[in-house]
Structure 1
């Protein structure tokens, strides 16, 4: 952030031209900020809205999807290999079972953490990394869910700015379907696990 601020000052007012819609520099700055700022607690939703307001969504959405993958991967690796062991002893005292998740429970936990609206995005990444959810499942589920939210919010924001009601409705529809899909998938997964545990006993 300090480097970015210094760069804008050195441009001596030319930064407005630099950040004009469609500028590759604007997208590059957007991408860098989207990768790093959510790792320190900045809300990811701001970038979803910005993707539709400040840029054409057909430019910013592909860039945003790549940024999400990089951010999620880096956050997961940081949590798993730097913070897991220091936190393991403290967490195991109260919830010892969370560090011995099987594949089914790991998938269910990933969907649950992503589905709870009160947990910030950065904390979701770190929680799943500390609990060592399988990386492939973590990234596939997380990227799909957040990618759908990015698509929906960006389309809605762009539709509102350009007064394109149809585009805004499509964006809202994507968000709604994503939320319903998460809920149905979690319930189905929970029912399957409950049934398999009952049959085992």
Structure 2
């Protein structure tokens, strides 16, 4: 009953929180990826600090559920589960050792007669009793840690069993909470649904356990125990596989552009490409029409390419640029390109780079990107080849499609940003600062129409 009450109380609080945020208009300020990007900047200290807090919490009788939820928000379904599991297990172990070696009398007095029931259960069933109480909360978690320290169960068996059978509940809450901010903003993600189903599945285990615990037939028990341990691993794998950022949605932002995107224009180029958000077969599509013009749309980001490694998109063009030539400035036009900008970090730059970029910042009002990868529908460059941009060596042009063979049909691409940056620049990539689409014909004076869809970043 305690687990059910906690589950339904958690859902009730979530509903109240979502309603309050939506009514107060605060949902636009909640950016899950910005939160995780900020934590990524801490490096290894972020997970270590989280694990330390979780390890201390049970000893101090602090509730573990908010910390578990924080793990899902901060680290995602996979690593959130890993860190929360390590932290909660360490906390359970510390409380056990305190009770056994340092405060036995005080803990015994605090627990009163309750610990004797636990002691009797351990004496009768050993590690199985630990497993049952971890999987099916019969006693408060923090008290249970101390109570087991008063029993005769070996520490190693207690710790391993606690870790293994706390894992299903930990995974359920982490997966469920890993997309809470998206839910509050109105986006229902697969991770949320998977976590919710897992929580519901775990909440009915006590019912089946009470029904079959006295049965001589061991098969139902094997099924329950096996399912309880296997489901979290399958759910973590599925939820983590679904962790991605859909950069293009049906929602419109300013000037009818897709939400999250803004115009990308260039000095001394007055004719701009026309971009419109359309819908084709139920999916959002950007249509770009260029008539002797050049401009793009960019979606600003601040992400680690080591984590959000895979960029995928689909595109379609009505022609290639007949005068286009990737090796010359006068031919630097493309019917379609998707390019990725990488942030300039003055703290990691050389003196010359800081000086040069400081001058550029005074001109443009902000630091320009340190580097860019242009994935192009090439005019002449063979598919799979890459060259430096005709205007700047800070940009590389990668021909992911080439020529007129597939004109008029949707072509889908997927690239590893981390691997491509290492290949093209021979160094570790800085943080992503934006994903852009661009159709331009200003150098050749031609015309072209392109369509872009299904633009997303997927976590590693």
1:21 alignment partner, SS class = helix
Once superposed, which parts of structure 1, at least 4 consecutive aligned residues long, lie more than 6 Å away?
89-97
Aligned residues: 174
Change beyond 3 A, Cα 1:107–1:136: farther
1:87-112 superposed Cα distances (whole Å, 9 cap, x missing partner): 65897889867645534266336624
1:153-190 superposed Cα distances (whole Å, 9 cap, x missing partner): 11111223233432111111222223333553465445
Q: Which of 150, 168, 172 is the aligned partner of 2:170?
A: 150
Q: Are 2:98 and 1:78 equivalent residues in the alignment?
A: yes
Residues in 2 aligned to 1:155 and 1:103: alpha-carbon distance in whole angstroms: 35
Residues in 2 aligned to 1:46 and 1:68: alpha-carbon distance in whole angstroms: 12
In structure 1, the gaps of 5 or more residues are 1-16, 193-201
In structure 2, the gaps of 5 or more residues are 1-34, 217-460
Which residue does 1:12 correspond to in 2?
none
Residues in 1 aligned to 2:97 and 2:146: alpha-carbon distance in whole angstroms: 9
**How far has the Cα of 1:84 moved from its partner?**
3.4
Q: Which of 129, 133, 137 is the aligned partner of 1:108?
A: 129
Change beyond 3 A, Cα 1:72–1:52: same
Which residue does 1:180 correspond to in 2?
204
- Structure 1 or 2, whichever has the larger Rg, is 2
Which residue does 2:87 correspond to in 1?
67
Change beyond 3 A, Cα 1:84–1:191: farther
Change beyond 3 A, Cα 1:77–1:140: same
**How far has the Cα of 1:135 moved from its partner?**
3.6
Bigger relative contact order, structure 1 or 2, given CA contacts below 8 A and separation 6+?
1
Counterpart mapping for 1:1-201 below 5 A: 20-22=38-40, 23-24=42-43, 25-84=45-104, 99=119, 101-104=122-125, 107-108=128-129, 111-112=132-133, 115-116=136-137, 119-162=139-182, 163-185=187-209, 188-191=212-215
Change beyond 3 A, Cα 1:115–1:88: same
